[in-house]
Structure 1
């Protein structure tokens, strides 16, 4: 199964890319896959994406075009597009 990740704003800057693709064999919790993915990037990426309880409340997660509200409970089990939308700075 292929999981296509898209990053915006601060996450894209921290990752140095706006997208990444991961292949998984079995169903996987999104939060676990995202933690593994974050190991590929600098520590700022993880600081933006996570807090002690899982995903940061400031991160919006969109899966296959639909906003997800219980981000820490999502299990991926098919080809999926995941977008992490981080807050934008400015005013």
Structure 2
């Protein structure tokens, strides 16, 4: 029995990288939805919470833009999972 350690290491590295990227994209999606909700509530109340403005002074963005970015992150995760299922089945 011969184990191709280079191939095993390559598969491990790619799997780790894709996992970190997908978890990061999903976390960005959750953060974007959270910030969109917080911004929408602040606009409805007529106040801007301190957490909505980053330390650099730049605004957090409009709720629609934040929601769109969050949905794009979720779509990326869904596409990656769908492609993985396709590769397993094919």
TM-score bracket, shorter-length normalisation: under 0.3
Q: Looking at both structures, which has the greater relative contact order when contacts are Cα pairs under 8 Å and sequence separation is at least 6?
A: 1
Of structures 1 and 2, the larger Rg is shown by 2
